[in-house]
């Protein structure tokens, strides 16, 4: 699943470390989510969206591949 | 404060890993030279060295027990279960057809060492994947 975390994080000048501390996860988890290697759970996805004052759909993009 | 703790954990695991590696090298050299390799405890020391090095890599990520860490642990247990079953099938075959002539102590030590190494190596592989 693709996402706009990196873009939104840079817009709001939030570092990966700061974001990890705010979400109570490791920095590696943020890196994996940004790269699309790991899909977060619904509560974590909602927390990420809330951190950027966006909706989940604005942060995470559902591909055709994800539907299969 | 958090980053200091992470570095400390990693260093400690590396130190223990080197210590176990040196000990296993010494004991393995002794068992090989006397022709009793694998004695059992020598393989366990190798497994402990592997475990320490894997933990040194995993510690900074695993110190925060978040959902990704839990998923890595869960998946690694799942894959390890089948790999360990594979070891057991191979070992049973070897023992049944007398390809291997080892004592029960050696067999259990080999299986324990393989189990430890498999679980931790699987965690490292999965942490690269997720």
Touching check for B127 and chain A: CB below 8 Å? yes
User: B61 vs A41: CB contact, 8 Å cut-off?
Assistant: no
Provide the pLDDT for residue B4: 47
Which residues in chain A belong to E strands, given as ranges? 2-3, 60-61
Q: What is the pLDDT of residues B26-62, one digit of tens each?
A: 998 988 888 877 888 889 999 999 999 999 999 888 8
> What confidence tens digit (pLDDT) does each residue in B10-23 have?
889 999 999 999 99
Distance from CA of B116 to the nearest CA of A (A): 24
Domain A2-63: CATH superfamily is lambda repressor-like DNA-binding domains (1.10.260.40)
Residue boundaries of the structural domains of chain A = 2-63
Q: Pick left, alpha or beta for residue A53 (phi over 0 → left; psi -120 to 50 → alpha; otherwise beta).
A: left
Interface size A-B, in CB pairs within 8 Å, comes to 35
Residue A64 has pLDDT above 90, yes or no: no
The answer to whether the beta carbons of residues A41 and A34 sit under 8 Å apart is no
């Amino acid at each position: 699943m693709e996402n706009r975390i990196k873009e939104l994080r840079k817009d709001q000048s939030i570092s990966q470390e700061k974001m990890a501390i705010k979400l109570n996860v490791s920095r590696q988890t943020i890196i994996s989510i940004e790269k699309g290697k790991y899909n977060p759970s619904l509560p974590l996805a909602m927390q990420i969206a809330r951190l950027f004052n966006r909706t989940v759909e604005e942060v995470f993009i559902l591909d055709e591949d994800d539907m299969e | 404060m958090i980053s200091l703790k992470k570095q400390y954990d990693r260093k400690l695991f590396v130190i223990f890993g080197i210590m176990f590696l040196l000990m296993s090298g010494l004991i393995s050299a002794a068992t090989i030279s006397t022709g009793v390799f694998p004695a059992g405890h020598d393989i366990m020391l190798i497994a402990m060295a592997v475990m320490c090095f894997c933990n040194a890599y995993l510690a900074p990520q695993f110190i925060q027990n978040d959902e990704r860490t839990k998923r890595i642990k869960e998946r690694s247990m799942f894959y390890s279960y089948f790999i360990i079953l594979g070891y057991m099938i191979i070992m049973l075959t070897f023992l049944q057809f007398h390809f291997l002539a080892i004592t029960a102590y050696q067999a259990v030590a080999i299986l324990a060492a393989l189990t430890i190494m498999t679980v931790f190596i699987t965690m490292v592989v999965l942490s690269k994947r997720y």
